[in-house]
């Protein structure tokens, strides 16, 4: 530890906004010097970008995000100090720092050194490069949690992966095949070869017809046991039409819905999705199939199983492109273009050996075509959708399950019903107890929202 530098280079999220405005490359960021029990120090060799990274930059207020702090979550590297854990100096590892953990320990993957819990890391198999390993953990654990932990996937069952060319989709295909399932996967036609390379048994080009219409006319035999929506669809039709192709005891799993921005039209789509998937009862036409919206929570045993599948070749990490550390903003541009198939990786330690270097002369693949979403209706009254759309930009009262009220201007509402308020006041038993500029409230703490001014 004595030979370590005191400062390091790191890409720091300093403010809310897109990566070009939120990030700053700092050379004076302090190298972690104190390790608590169960934590290790890692020299980062490579880091991978995730959509949650730039979306949190754009949406979450500074105080809620714990800024400033290094960006990103997925990494591969070398143990510098094992601190009495199962790791020793020199071990080659990969793992990730969750969004919630990053705020607490103020660490991120786009830095030369990271202090993190040892149970968030596993040994990198020697045949897998740091650039390949860097992008495994978050998306592989997400796919695994959905298919195995929640969906209880068994050998011989049939699954549909919507978004097979996405990062989560690519790992979901491989994990499902490793567990003995028959896999159908969707993507645009230009990505068929990639999806089949991941192991899909059947391919569906969603650009040729609405996916729910195609599946209703061509249901599999037997019907799907699991449908995993890896692209966070806002249009609920794939779920609402699912009785035609999802088994009665099957489950529809979603990693969304996630709006592209906080515009009224996007929020209307989110509200419609929430109403159709969670609020509409079956006796009013609700869908008679189980629906589960989930956010990945790290599990060490799960990561250990993923590591074994990587080690024995059942999972091959797909890499879209690799960027130098100074070119992080270009890497984010690639991420936000929706063109990537596989992970976008940043080389942090330039001495790490990549199996393949990105060829700058090769043009990127054309943009991924998106599933068309229905336009919002011109008029609607009296529905949850109408209310949620109408209160954006207005003063609202948010009642928490604890009985505390937050009153302020609703600036953002995402697919998990997380709420961002401006000009916020905290009220306890009708008395103002605190005033804030911005406030971020997690959806699982909210009892109800009511309007504080005429709509």
Q: What was the pLDDT predicted at 255? A: 82
Q: Which residues contact 345 (CB under 8 A, 6 or more apart)?
A: 46, 47, 48, 49, 131, 134, 135, 319, 321, 322, 323, 331
Question: Lowest-confidence range among 47-61, 112-126, 422-436?
Answer: 422-436
**Residue-level pLDDT at 187:** 93
How far is it, in rounded angstroms, from Cα 187 to Cα 167?
12
Nearest to 338 by CA among 315, 366, 309: 366
* Annotation: CATH topology of 7-136+317-347: Quinone Oxidoreductase; Chain A, domain 1 (3.90.180)
DSSP-based three-state secondary structure for 279:
helix
pLDDT value, residue 264: 63
Lowest mean pLDDT among 114-128, 156-170, 426-440: 426-440
Provide the pLDDT for residue 368.
Answer: 45
pLDDT at 100: 82
Widest pairwise Cα distance in the chain: 68
Q: What is the mean pLDDT of the chain?
A: 82
Assess whether pLDDT exceeds 70 at residue 91: yes
Tokens of 220: 């599999």
Tens-place pLDDT, residues 291-330:
888 888 899 999 999 999 999 889 999 999 999 999 999 9
d(CA 65, CA 108): 12
Residue 111: DSSP 8-state: B
- Phi-psi map region of 330: left, alpha, beta (phi>0 left; psi -120 to 50 alpha): alpha
The residue that leads in pLDDT, 208 or 61, is 208
Q: How far is CA 100 from CA 96, 145, 152, 286, 401, in A?
A: 12, 18, 26, 34, 21
| pLDDT for the residue numbered 382 | 54
Of the CA atoms within 13 Å of residue 149, those in its CB half-sphere come to: 20
Cα–Cα dist 153/182, whole Å: 11
For residue 448, what pLDDT is reported?
77
DSSP tally for the chain: helices H, then strands E:
14, 21
pLDDT of residue 366: 47
Dist. CA 279–CA 258, nearest whole Å: 18
One fold for 7-136+317-347 and 139-293: no
pLDDT grade for 420, boundaries at 50, 70 and 90: confident
Q: What is the structure's pLDDT at 357? A: 38
The reported pLDDT for the residue numbered 235 is: 76
pTM: 0.72
Residue 14 or 183, more confident = 183
Averaged pLDDT for residues 59-74: 81
Predicted local distance difference test score (pLDDT) of residue 260 = 55
pLDDT in tens, 15-63: 888 899 999 999 999 999 889 999 999 999 999 998 877 777 877 777 7
Domain 384-451 has CATH 2.30.30.100: yes
Residue 10's DSSP bridge partners are 26, 111
Would you say residue 233 has pLDDT above 70? no
Tokens of 55: 């979306």
pLDDT at residue 378 tops 50 = no
What six digits make up the tokens of 130?
């740091």
Partnered with residue 344 across adjacent β-strands are: 321
| 219 vs 104: which has the higher pLDDT | 219
8 Å CB contact between 54 and 336? yes
pLDDT of residue 289: 83
Fold exhibited by the domain 139-293: Rossmann fold (3.40.50)
């Amino acid at each position: 530890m004595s030979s370590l530098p005191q400062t390091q280079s790191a890409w720091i999220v300093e403010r809310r906004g897109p990566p070009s405005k939120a990030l700053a490359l700092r050379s004076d960021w302090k190298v972690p010097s104190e390790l608590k029990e169960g934590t290790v120090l890692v020299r980062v060799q490579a880091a991978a970008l995730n959509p949650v990274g730039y979306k949190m930059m754009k949406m979450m207020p500074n105080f809620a995000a714990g800024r400033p702090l290094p960006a990103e979550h997925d990494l591969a590297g070398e143990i510098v100090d094992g601190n009495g854990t199962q790791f020793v100096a020199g071990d080659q590892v990969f793992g990730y720092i969750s969004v919630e953990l990053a705020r607490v320990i103020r660490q991120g993957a786009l830095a030369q050194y990271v202090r993190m819990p040892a149970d968030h890391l596993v040994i990198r198999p020697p045949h897998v490069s740091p650039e390949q390993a860097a992008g495994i953990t978050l998306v592989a654990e997400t796919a695994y949690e959905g298919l195995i932990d929640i969906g209880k996937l068994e050998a011989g069952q049939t699954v549909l992966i919507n978004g097979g060319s996405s990062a989560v989709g690519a790992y979901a295909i491989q994990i499902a095949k490793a567990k003995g399932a028959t896999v159908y996967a969707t993507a645009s036609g230009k990505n068929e070869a990639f999806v089949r390379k991941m192991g899909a048994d059947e391919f569906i080009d969603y650009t040729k017809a609405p996916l729910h219409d195609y599946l209703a006319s061509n249901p599999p035999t037997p019907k799907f046991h699991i449908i995993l929506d890896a692209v966070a669809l806002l249009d609920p039709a794939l779920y609402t039409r699912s009785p035609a192709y999802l088994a009665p005891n099957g489950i529809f799993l979603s990693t969304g819905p996630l709006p592209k921005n906080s515009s009224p039209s996007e929020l209307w789509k989110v509200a419609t999705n929430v109403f159709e998937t969670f609020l509409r009862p079956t006796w009013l036409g609700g869908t008679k199939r189980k629906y589960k919206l989930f956010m990945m929570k790290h599990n060490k045993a799960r990561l250990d199983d993923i590591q074994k599948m990587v080690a024995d070749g059942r999972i091959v990490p797909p890499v879209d492109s690799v960027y130098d550390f100074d070119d992080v903003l270009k890497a984010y541009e690639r991420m936000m273009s929706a063109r990537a198939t596989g992970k976008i990786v940043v080389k942090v330690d330039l001495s790490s050996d990549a199996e393949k270097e990105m060829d700058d002369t090769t043009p990127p693949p054309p943009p991924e075509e998106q599933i068309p979403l229905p336009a919002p209706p011109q008029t609607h009254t009296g529905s949850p959708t109408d209310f949620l759309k109408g209160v954006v930009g207005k003063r609202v009262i948010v009642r928490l399950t604890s009985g505390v009220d937050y009153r302020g201007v609703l600036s953002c509402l995402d697919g998990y019903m997380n709420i961002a308020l401006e000009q916020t006041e905290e009220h306890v038993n009708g008395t103002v107890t605190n005033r804030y500029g911005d406030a971020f409230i997690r959806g699982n703490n909210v009892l109800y929202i009511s309007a504080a001014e005429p709509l």
